[in-house]
Copies of this chain bind each other. A is one copy, B any other.
């Protein structure tokens, strides 16, 4: 049984695999890009795949959002969140004062700016395509770079030595990764769940988003993230990518989804799954499953007997 992940080996995504449950049962296979990783699930080459979804510093991973919003349907079945900790790594034996050129991804460079300015003010930082690619490059003795900034896990993969740990300026930075499979019945609700959706409007009319939010809020469902993403038709023509609290098997979420389905041109369900942080949502009075069940009985009684 294989799980794909956004590679190469040594990325934060690989580090996040260890946070999954029952991880020993699986083999892991890296793929070069987010689309390639997701397509491996679609083609059945892997049973599931772990890809980054959003980062507390950089925001959503647009490519992940857009790849899930179109093409063969996939669903999110789990999520994990990883502390994003950057390390400075070198070929074994290199001393810190020998470093003149560092390779890393521009985001990593940006997130370590203060440490670099203080510890290595004169060093030149050159952008690489990923932090793992930077580590790989540095592992080549012929490289013009003496050091890479990457995830700790990259050091062991590429035979490097860590000279400085946790050099990011924001030491609370985290990335949320999602585990994606082919469509299947959702995992059981835990009480602390999240549901991810893609919504296409009937027409781009004023007030469209207000209508969407009202469908959610009237059933006590809280929207936690919303993004206008391009439909790739016209500049300014968007679909909405949203996260909300709750699970599709809950009555309040189910009814809200039905409402969205009725007012939207299309709703793509991307999964209900446990939150990584186990935070329980506040539930407004009258929005528990029991409240919905009781209201249903009440209505059926009136419809039959006229008695409320």
Contacts and interface: CB of A to CB of B under 8 A. Distances in A.
Interface of A: 33, 35, 54-60, 62, 66, 73, 75, 81, 106, 110, 127, 129, 170, 172-176, 182-186, 202, 206-207, 209-210, 213-215, 217-220, 222-230, 232-238, 245, 248-249, 254-255, 257-259, 261-263, 267-269, 271, 277, 282, 284-287, 291-292, 295-296, 298-299, 302-308
A215 B217 CA distance: 10
B54 A59 contact: no
A232 to B, nearest CB: 5
Contact of A282 (B173, B206, B236, B298): B206
Nearest to A75: B306
Given A183-B305, A285-B202, A308-B73, A217 B207 contact: yes
A285 to B, nearest CB: 7
Contact of A214 (B183, B185, B214): B214
A245 to B, nearest CB: 8
Given A268-B308, A306-B269, A228 B227 contact: yes
Given A235-B81, A235-B174, A269-B302, A222 B248 contact: no
A217 B210 contact: yes
Contacts of A291: 262
Given A213-B210, A230-B58, A306-B269, A258 B176 contact: no
